[in-house]
Structure 1
Amino acid sequence: IAILDAFTPADRSLGLAEIATRTGLYKSTILRLANSLMRGQLLERLDDGRYRIGPATFRLGAIYQRSVVAMDVLLPIMRDLSERSWESVAFYVRSGDVRTCLYRVESKHPIRYTIREGDVLPLLAGSGGRVLAAFSGEPGEPYETIREDYHHLSVGDRDPE
């Protein structure tokens, strides 16, 4: 898992030395574990010797995504909300102090803040995170107001731009 966690959304592939630096594991340990991950198609070795995340991770992600909420129920509601509001609509799941975007419907505005399905964001920043925190029992303000109003607007909370 540490090997898979070494990859970030910005990484197309990583060399053995970079994986070792990011995980703190010995290269020999990484090679042994990488073979197991490759057998399960969770990791692939490229012709140049570098590694990338394998296709089985996509399959597992899709299974997880469908196990949380039925997309055939959720996505039509999200599309309708986006059409009515002209805003993007995202569905997040909370895990500790972060949230992961499981589903996203983009607004029709040409300028928008883009978040992709699978992106991990802080829980206590941004309107979506604050709403999740409020309805998870986070005490104090602005969470009390969010529970009363059923919404929250944030400007520059996660990104000053």
Structure 2
Amino acid sequence: MAQDRVEAVERALTVLEVFDSSQEAFALAELAEATGFYKSTLLRLLGSLARFDYVQRGEDGRWRLGGSPMRLARRHAPSQQLAVRVQPWLDRLAAETGETAALLALHPGEVECRLAALPATPLRHDLRPGSRWPTERDTDPRPALPGGTMTCLALADAPGEPPLWLSLSGPAGRLAPETAHEALTRARDALARRLAGDREKNT
């Protein structure tokens, strides 16, 4: 009903809806065009959203989604169960290989990092949950990594989830693609056995 509406909240949500796009970052002028709001109004809304980490302003002055939307998304039951199963293997992969291990989700036109484990080395691919990048092919979720490399392996389809991939990434030449693929295969097969066991318990 009309009396239940809070205009400021609806304006903030209108701003967030713009980020449901394959475009990762937006200039203030682009947000103004998409929402129809004055730039001065947008700056106030973005300031409030940034304080709660729903959006972040990069060094280039463009606005991106912050960490809070991803944090809340992980409260979704299927995502919670997936994280419990996958994160220990990402931690193990990062420790064993010395590279960044991640779970990637493929959406139309873009890839999203769902989970990540970073190695204990300063020279690494600093990939974080919530990171997104565009893609033109549904068979290759790798981002452009100047001076770096990423090896990916698709997981079996999970109910209620987009196509998922395990990945290892880091500086080029430090981890051979064959070694990375072997490590990812071991993790994928172990996860498949775990999922099969869970399904048997629930039947």
Count of aligned positions: 116
2:100 matched to which residue of 1? 88
Are residue 109 (structure 1) and residue 121 (structure 2) matched? yes
Q: Distance in 2 between matches of 1:49 and 1:79?
A: 39
Tell me: higher relative CO, structure 1 or 2? Use CA pairs within 8 A at least 6 residues apart: 2
User: 1:84/1:27 Cα in 2 relative to 1: closer, same or farther (>3 Å)?
Assistant: closer
Q: What TM-score, normalized by structure 1, do the two folds share?
A: 0.51
Amino acid at match of 1:3: V
Q: Hey, what does 1:26 align to over in structure 2?
A: 36
Q: Which has the higher strand share?
A: 2
- 1:49 counterpart = 2:60: no
Structure 2 gap ranges (5+):
1-12, 55-67, 144-148, 158-162, 164-177, 183-203
C-alpha spacing 1:130/1:97, structure 2 compared with 1 (3 Å): farther
Instruction: Please give the secondary structure, in 1, of the residue aligned with 2:44.
Output: coil
* Gap change, CA 1:119 and 1:129, over 3 Å in 2: farther
Distance 1:19 1:97, change over 3 A: closer
* 1:97 Cα deviation from its structure 2 partner: 2.5
| 1:5-154 equivalence runs, <5 A | 5-6=17-18, 19-21=31-33, 23=34, 25-27=35-37, 49-51=44-46, 52-53=48-49, 57=69, 60-64=72-76, 67-68=78-79, 69-123=81-135, 124=140, 125-126=142-143, 131-132=153-154, 151=181
Q: Which amino acid aligns with 2:78?
A: S
RMSD (Å) for aligned C-alpha atoms: 4.1
Shift of 1:109: 2.0
1:57-115 Cα deviation digits (max 9, x unpaired)? 45532224x52352222111111111111111010111023110010000122211211
Cα distance in structure 2, aligned partners of 1:80 and 1:130: 16
| Distance change in 2, residues 1:129/1:86 (3 Å) | closer
> Which whole-Å CA distance do the structure 1 matches of 2:128 and 2:99 have between them?
15
Is the 8 Å Cα contact of residues 104 and 117 (structure 1) preserved in structure 2? Answer: yes
Asked if the contact 2:24–2:133 (Cα under 8 Å) also holds between the matched residues in 1, the reply is no
Q: Which residue of structure 2 lines up, in the alignment, with residue 3 of structure 1?
A: 15
Where has structure 1 moved over 4 Å in runs of 4 or more?
5-11, 127-132
TM-score of the pair, normalised by structure 2: 0.42
Cα gap change, 1:112 to 1:118, in 2 (>3 Å) = same
Whole-Å separation in 2 of the counterparts to 1:113 and 1:87? 8
